[in-house]
Amino acid sequence: MTLSDRIEALDKLSTFIRAESEGVLEPVIVQSIAENPWFTPESVKRALLSISTQYLSKSELKTWSSQYDIQDDKSKRVGLVLAGNIPMVGIHDIVSTFIAGHHSIIKYSSKDKVLIKFLIEQLEKIDDRTKGYFTAVERVKDIDAVIATGGSTAATHFHYYFSKYPNLIRKNRSSVAILTGQESTSDLKRLGDDIFTYFGLGCRNVSKVFVPKGYKFDTFYESIIDFQNVIHHNKYKNNYDYSHAIYILGQHHFLTNNFLIVREDPTLGSRISCIHFEQYDSIEEVVTNLKNIEDDIQCIASTSPISNLPFTPIGSCQSPALSDYADRVDTMAFLTGLYG
C-alpha cells in the first residue's frame, strides 16, 4: 500500500466510527468495560470520537505525515508494547507505525485488548491489504525495533530486554496546570476536564496545580461541581475513601468537596481522586522549577503561554493532536529513522 492508500483506509475508519450505530459498538463497549472496570460507556465513546477526529481524518493525516520523509518500500517489523490505563491509549503508536509503512507486532495490554482489536478488524474489512500490517503476539520477538510504554519500573525492564534494538521506551509522566488567580469559572471548569477525564488515570491528566501564594480554592471547587458524579464510580470512590482515611489518620491538612481532595505537596504525581498544589511567589519561580523536572512532565496547562514552557490550553489536555507525542518524543521521527 502507498502512503495515500493508508491514509484513505484510516479516513474510512474515521467515517465508520463517527457514523456507526451503537448496535455494533455497544457489545464492544460492554466487553471493554468487563476487561477494564475503569472504562465507562462515556469514556470509551469520548475516546472513540477523539481518535476519529484527531488521529484518523484525512486532512489531519495528510498535514502531519507531510512533515516526514515516508518511504513505502522500506518496511520494518516494529514491536509495540501497549499500555491500557485509558481506552485505546496505544492507538497513536499503531497509527504512526502504519503511516510510516511498518509492520506492527502488537503486545496488547491485558486491560485494553477489545477496543483496539475491534478497530483493526474494521480497518481490515475496509481494505484487506491492511492485514499484512498488524500481528498480535503474546511475546515480542523477531523485530527490528520496539516502542514500549509502561510505568517507571516496567521501563527499566524494557530498557534491559530490548537494549539490542532501536527503541523508544516510555515511563510514567504527570501533567500540571499553572493558575494565576485570574481564571474565570469557565476556565476552572475546563481544568476539571483535564483532571477528571478517564478518572485521572492518564499521563495527560492534571495531577498538580501551581497557584499564587494565598490562593483560595473556593471558586475552583464551585467551578468543578458538574464533575461530582465521578464519586458514584465504585473504583474511584474506593480510591477517594482510602485516601481520605489515610490523610485523616496521618493528620495531614487537606481540602475536599467530597469527591476531590486537594493537598499541598511538592510531588508531581498524586493519588486517584486527589490533586496536589504548590504555592509560588513568581511565575519565574515556577518556570525554573518545571524546567528542572521537564523529563517527568507531559502537559503544562494554562490559559495562555508562559515563558518558553510547552503550552497546552486548559481543558484540552485529553484532546491531543497527532503531533502531541507521548513523552514529547517524536514517534514518527523515530519510525522514519528506521528505514536505513
User: pLDDT tens, 241-250?
Assistant: 999 999 999 9
User: pLDDT tens, 74-115?
Assistant: 999 999 999 999 999 999 999 999 999 999 999 999 999 999
Contact (Cβ atoms closer than 8 angstroms) between residue 90 and residue 64: no
Burial 144-173 (b: 16+ CB within 10 A, else e): bbbbbbbeeebbeebeeebeeebbbbbbbb
**DSSP 8-class letter at 197:** G
Quote the CA–CA distance of 155 and 178 in Å, as a whole number: 28
In the predicted structure, residue 287 carries a pLDDT above the cut 80 = yes
For 250: left if phi > 0, alpha if psi spans -120 to 50, otherwise beta; the answer is alpha
User: pLDDT tens, 107-151?
Assistant: 999 999 999 999 999 999 999 999 999 999 999 999 999 999 988
For residue 22, what pLDDT is reported? 59
Contact (Cβ atoms closer than 8 angstroms) between residue 13 and residue 122: yes
For residue 77, what pLDDT is reported? 97
For residue 25, what pLDDT is reported? 87
Instruction: Taking residues 27-44, report their average pLDDT.
Output: 96
In the predicted structure, residue 44 carries a pLDDT above the cut 70 = yes
For residue 152, what pLDDT is reported? 77
For residue 24, what pLDDT is reported? 81
In the predicted structure, residue 218 carries a pLDDT above the cut 60 = yes
**DSSP 8-class letter at 128:** G
Quote the CA–CA distance of 318 and 279 in Å, as a whole number: 25
Share of the chain above pLDDT 90, in %: 91
Q: Tell me the pLDDT of the chain averaged across its residues.
A: 95
Distance of CA 30 to the CA centre of its chain: 21
Q: Pick from 325, 41, 229, 35: which is nearest to 49 by CA?
A: 41
User: pLDDT tens, 264-273?
Assistant: 999 999 999 9
- Structural domains in the chain, CATH included, are 3-172 (3.40.605.10), 174-313 (3.40.309.10)
pLDDT higher for 261 or 155?
Answer: 261
Contact (Cβ atoms closer than 8 angstroms) between residue 56 and residue 91: no
For residue 151, what pLDDT is reported? 82
For residue 18, what pLDDT is reported? 87
In the predicted structure, residue 21 carries a pLDDT above the cut 70 = no
**DSSP 8-class letter at 53:** I
In one-letter notation, the amino acid at residue 93 is D
Q: Pick from 144, 143, 134, 98: which is nearest to 2 by CA?
A: 98
Cell of 173: 509522566
Quote the CA–CA distance of 75 and 98 in Å, as a whole number: 10
340 pLDDT band (50/70/90 cuts)? Answer: confident
**How many other C-beta atoms can be found within 10 angstroms of the C-beta atom of residue 189?**
19
Quote the CA–CA distance of 98 and 3 in Å, as a whole number: 9
153 pLDDT band (50/70/90 cuts)? Answer: confident
The residue whose grid cell reads 499484512 is 132
162 pLDDT band (50/70/90 cuts)? Answer: very high
Q: Which of 16-25, 95-104, 214-223 has the lowest mean pLDDT?
A: 16-25
All residues at 6 or more sequence positions from 17 whose CB lies less than 8 Å from its CB, including other chains? 48, 49, 51, 52, 56, 119
In the predicted structure, residue 276 carries a pLDDT above the cut 60 = yes
What residue spans of the chain are helical by DSSP H? 3-19, 22-35, 41-50, 58-65, 91-99, 114-126, 152-161, 185-196, 218-223, 234-249, 283-292, 331-336
Supply the Cα-derived Rg of the chain in whole angstroms. 21
For residue 17, what pLDDT is reported? 92
